[in-house]
Amino acid sequence: MCDTLENPWLNNKKNVSCIPRGEYKVRLRLPRESSTRDYIHLLIEDVENRSYILFHRGNTAKDTRGCILVGLGSQQDFVSNSTLAMDLLIKELIHLGAENINLIIKNK
């Protein structure tokens, strides 16, 4: 449905590493739950030694801060049309009920 961008593996260090491979629960996070995001986004739960790992808007690797960005196209360290991609992803998840969302991270 969309392209993603996240940091490389750097031993799960906060704000600079992607998250470890595994299976995670994901939930919608409303704007009122966030001091920095004024739109519905996704929160990845129970990441070992980390908190507030999100799927959110952004275009470049420096925008990730250890989170996952979504876009409608990608190049090296860049995703495009992130706002539209986030809106479409959230709309689809809500259409599907937005419950029991699982994220599976595998090796490439």
Q: pLDDT by residue (tens digit) across 40-82? A: 999 999 999 999 999 999 999 899 999 999 999 999 999 999 9
Q: Under the phi-then-psi rule, with left for phi > 0, alpha for psi from -120 to 50, and beta for the rest, what region is 26?
A: beta
Tokens found for residue 54? 């999100």
pLDDT at 11: 96
